[in-house]
Amino acid sequence: MRLYPAIDLRGGTVVRLYQGDYDQTTAYANDPVELAQAYEDAGASWLHLVDLDGAKGEAGENLYVFEEIATRTALRIQAGGGVRNANDLQRLHDAGVARVVIGSLAVRQPDLVRDWLIKQGSEGICLAADVRLADDGSMHVQTSGWTEDGAIELNDFIARYQDVDLRHALCTDVSRDGTLGGPNVALYRGLVQRFPWLQVQASGGVSSLADLQALAEAEVDGAIIGKALLEQRFTLQEAQACLPNG
C-alpha cells in the first residue's frame, strides 16, 4: 500500500478542515514547501496536495506553492481542487502535478472527463469520490468543496468511468475527514471488491498505525494521511515500517 502524505492549502497556508467544513479550519505553522521536503526526506515518493480555495471556486496563491514544491523536491505530486475546464487541467500539469484529482467536474460533466481519460490516459487523472451518507442509506458524492450533494450514488459514479480505462480513484468519507476518528474501512473494502480493476486510495480519519494496517488488509492501493502526521500521532517512517511491504 502506497502512503500519500497530504497537504491542504488555503491562501498558501497549511490547514485541515473538520468533516469538510470550511468554518472549522485548523491552520498549522508549517511552511508547505519545507513540510513537503520533510516528507521527502522521510521516504515519501508521492505527495497529495489540495487547493481548498480552488475547490470553492476562489482564486488563491496555492498553485504557486504547487510549483515551488515541484521545483524543490523530487516528489511525484497528486493534486486537485477547482479543476473546471481543460485550461485548469493544463495549469496543474504545467505546475508539475503528475496526477490531477478531479471531483466535481467528473460529477457534472462526465463526458468531458471521460474524453480526457481516453485522450490523455489513465495515469494523469485520479477520480475523486468525496462521499456523505444520504438519508436513504447510500453514499452520495459531494461537489463544490464538499458543500453540495452531487445527487449520485458512489458506485454509480465510478461505474460511469469503468469503460474508459479509469485506474485511480480517491474516496473520502467526509464525515471522517479531519476527525482522527479512524477510516471507514468497510467502505473501502466494498469498493475494492466491487471494482477489482481500480486502484482505490482511502482518505479520511486515519489516526493510528492500526488504521493503516486495517486499510492494507482491505487491499486498498493507497492511503492519504494528513492530520495524523501534522499532529505527530506517528511519523511517516513508522507508518512505512508497520506495513507488510514497509
Query: Could you confirm whether 51 is annotated as catalytic?
Result: no
* Helical packing angle, 62-72 and 32-41, nearest 10°: 30
Examine the residue annotation and report whether 163 is marked as an active-site residue of this protein. Answer: no
Active-site residue (options: 53, 88, 130, 211): 130
Catalytic residue, chosen from 8, 51, 173, 211, is 8
What are the residues whose beta carbons fall under 8 Å from the beta carbon of 213, sequence distance 6 or more?
242, 243
Residues annotated as catalytic are 8, 130
